[in-house]
Each structure stands twice: as C-alpha cells, then as structure tokens.
Amino acid sequence: MASTMIDQSVCQLLNHLAEGAITAEALTEACLNAIRRLDDRIQAFLWVDEDGALEQARTIDAKRRRGEPMGALAGLPVAVKDVLCTAGAPTTCGSRMLRNFVPPYDATVIQRLRQADAVLLGKTNLDEFAMGSSTENSAFQVTRNPWDLDRIPGGSSGGSAAAVAAGMAPLALGTDTGGSIRQPASLCGIVGLKPSYGRVSRFGLVAYGSSLDQIGPMARDVRGAARLFEAIAGHDPLDSTSVPEPAPTLLPLLEEPVRPLTIGVPREFFAAGLDAEVEAAVRDALRVYERLGARCLDVSLPHAPFAVATYYLVATAEASSNLARYDGVHFGHRAAQFHDLIDMVCKSRGEGFGAEVKRRIMLGTYALSSGYIDAYYLKALKVRRLIKNDYDAAFGQCDVVMGPTAPTPAFRIGEKVNDPLAMYLSDIYTISANLAGLAGISIPCGFTKANLPIGLQILAAPLAEAKLLRVARMFERETDWHLRRPTMT
C-alpha cells in the first residue's frame, strides 16, 4: 500500500484521506520510508524532520476524527526548499554562511502551509542562495536526477524537484528568480509553477534578487500544483510587494478548456542552441493543442536575446545588496581568527560564500560601482522594460506564449560546472518571465531517446494564473507524460 500511495496524485491522496482510506500518519510514514530508501543516492534533502512530521500527521488525523474543519492540504506531506525560514528548524540556503542558522519565525508561505494542515517533511537542497541551474553549487551535497543519477536535476530548486519526481514527497515548494522552479521541473519530469511577481508573499524568503524572486509549487500534475498554489497565494501586509488581492480560486474552473485559444510561438525560442529532441517534443505538444482547436501564431520577442545579459546585471546587483548583510557580525558564519573588524568581515565572507555566490556578488558590485552604474545597471533596467513591452505586445495577440522550458535535457554532473556562461544559458528561455513579472509553468511533454524528461513552458500575462493552469491542464488531459515515473529500487 505504501508504494502505491506515493505514486498517486495529490487529488487522489486528498480524496483517500477525506474518505478515511488512508491516514496522514500512514502517508507521511510512506514518504519517510521513501526518503530512507532513496535519498542516500539522490540527496534531495538537507534536513528531514521525521519526528516532527509524524507528530503533525497524528495531530491532523486526530482533528479529522473529531470532525473539525480541515485545511485544504489536510494530511499532505510537503517538502520545502531550504531558502524559506521555518521557526525552530535549520534554514541554510545551501551555504556554509548559514550552516547553523535557525530562524525564530516562519515565512508567510510556511504559516499558510500550517494553516492548510500540511505536513512539513523537511528542507531540500539547492544551489547556494538559489544561485545556480544545477544544484551543484550547494555547500553540502550534489543532488542527482532520479531519472539518471549521473545527471543534474536542474536548479536552483533541484532538491525539491528531485524529491517530487522520486516520490519522496507529493508536493514541494521552490523559488524562481530566473527559472529555478520551471527548469528543474522540466529536467525532472514534473510540473513547476512560477506565479506572477507579487502573487505569493516573499516574507521569510531569504532574498537573492528582490525584484525577481517568487515562491511557487512543484507537483506531479497540474491539479496538484494548483492546489498548493491556492494554499500559499494571496495578499500579505508583511510583504510590501504583495499584490493586494485574495488568492485566486482555481480548482472549480481547472477542467474547463480555454476556447478560443491562441498560442503565441516566439521564433526566438527556436534558435541555435536548442536540442533537436527537445524541439521535436515541443512541436509535438503544439500539435496536440492544435488538435484541440487552438490556433498557433508566430510572434516575436525581439529583445529576448538580451534577456540573459540583462538578468545577470539586475539579479547580481540585487544579490550584491541583499548579501551584504552577511558580515560575521549579527548572524551567520564568523571567521575563527582575524586581526580587526575589516579582517573579520573579509575572512567571514570569504570562508562562508562559495565560488558562484562570490562571482555574482562581484559582478553586481561592479555593475553598481561609481562610473559603471549608468553603463550597466541602469541600461539593464531599460532593456528590462523593453522585454516587458515585448510580452505586452505578444499578449495583445495571443492568450499564452509557449516554447521549450530548457534548451537541453538534463546534462551530466560536472559537465558545465567550470563554464559559467554555458551554465547561465540553461535558463535562456525562463529568465525573461522573471524580468517581466509573468506567470509561467513547465509541464512534462516528452522524453528523449535516453529516457530523459522534456518540459513545455507556458507563459501568461501577470496575474493570469487561472488561464495558465487551465491551458496546461488541457494538454495534461490528452497525454500521459506526467504519469511516467523514474525506476528506482
């Protein structure tokens, strides 16, 4: 029963829990058993709260037996990317800098998970401070792709993606600054939703790029992602960038197709560098939509080729500012030996940060420095506006924009770790959605001959998650790619 339990969808599990066919404790134990059996090879989790998760599950079961009102996720285990503050539990951001940091408060999304009666399994691995595309930059371990343990799961939410793909958790939270939910979802064969900027509170998220970061759900199917998104979305007065609107109601309309549906297909998303098998799978997915009555329209995003350069100026500038707080004074790593205050700060930061984080801090600091800010950072902000204008024009002609999520399937561990530019190009199709504040999702749309997952990216206008998820569900109902599971014994 345990093995069949963890293979079921979120909605199936919720139905079984509501009917009493399974208990939250049994489901949580099944997930913990899967973690014990698999995670020494996958290394998706940095910390697992076995006792705490089982205690939460028993409390939820007792609440159900008493006939009390239940939350929307009642009894469902959720894995949490280790960049979200959880009271009394480690929040390391995958960095030596925060190796021993235990926050005194919950992030808003964690509070909302608790209010929804979710069971928090533990914290998942990530690229340090969410800076990376492969989860190889973690200070503690390299997470592996459940479909091929010699390959990366994507990043920076690679631990969350691998945990869901391997059946160690039915749901997970990730964060997306330039594709860090959608790209690992694509490479691990699951669904990953990047909400519109401001739709989900960032309070309690350890910041990387404050104008780009967004928290979102990862699940095995669109309905599961929609269920988790409903639970965490909505206005939060603790986040000044939070959109002052309630969480959208998605599930009652999710099965209704969008008709008529016009799909924008950007020619810039099918240029040099796109793997042939990935392109073929995405083209096949577009034909599925056409069979359902959709019209595919060629569109242009003329400033898309500048998205990577723009992102690595805006994001690194914000990272330089956000990570300045880690100085060895108030919290975080402090060097054991130093001569004076300046030496303490320099050594603490030098020892606490990894190579990629240092690289991005230096890039951002340079872009913000006197004499260069106009030429680099301020110019990048102007190009960001042009990228947003491109999408505004596209959405004036179509309902959604579609293309590949990532240019290639999962690559081998170590293959690009010494080539930062090649690694940065892994996010070439996802970055622009963050610059423009769009809603985006990656859904499984095929496999390579080597049995590696391929993802279809769908983008919608800001705050159009309801339409986005309905369009994604249209494809999911017609195909079985989301039902495939990696074979791990």
300 catalytic? Reply is: no
157 catalytic? Reply is: no
Measured N-to-C along each axis, helices 10-19 and 24-42 cross at an angle, to the nearest 10 degrees, of 150
State the alpha helices, DSSP H only, in 181-275.
182-188, 222-232
Catalytic residue among 180, 196, 348, 432: 180
Provide φ and ψ at 469, rounded to 5°: -70, -35
User: Which pair of tokens denotes residue 63?
Assistant: 């609440």
Nearest to 365 by CA among 377, 356, 353: 377
Nearest to 123 by CA among 182, 180, 52: 52
Provide φ and ψ at 84, rounded to 5°: -110, 130
What's the CA gap between 278 and 447, in Å, rounded? 8
Instruction: Give the three-state DSSP class for 345.
Output: helix
Nearest to 130 by CA among 213, 37, 29, 231: 213
- Asked whether 24 and 57 are in contact (CB, 8 A), the reply is yes
Instruction: Give the three-state DSSP class for 122.
Output: strand
The DSSP string of 271-331 is: STT--HHHHHHHHHHHHHHHHTT-EEEEE--TTGGGHHHHHHHHHHHHHHHHGGG-SSSSS
Catalytic residue among 133, 156, 196, 348: 156
Element (H, E) at 367: helix 355-368
**Per the omega criterion (within 30 degrees of 0), is the bond before 9 cis?**
no
Cα of first residue to Cα of last residue in the chain, in angstroms, is: 16
What's the CA gap between 175 and 182, in Å, rounded? 9
Burial of residue 479 (CB within 10 Å: 0-12, 13-18, 19+) is: middle
Instruction: Give the three-state DSSP class for 468.
Output: helix
Cα 255 to Cα 190, 464, 476: the distances in Å are 19, 16, 10
201 catalytic? Reply is: no
- Asked whether 15 and 76 are in contact (CB, 8 A), the reply is no
Residues identified as active-site? 81, 156, 180
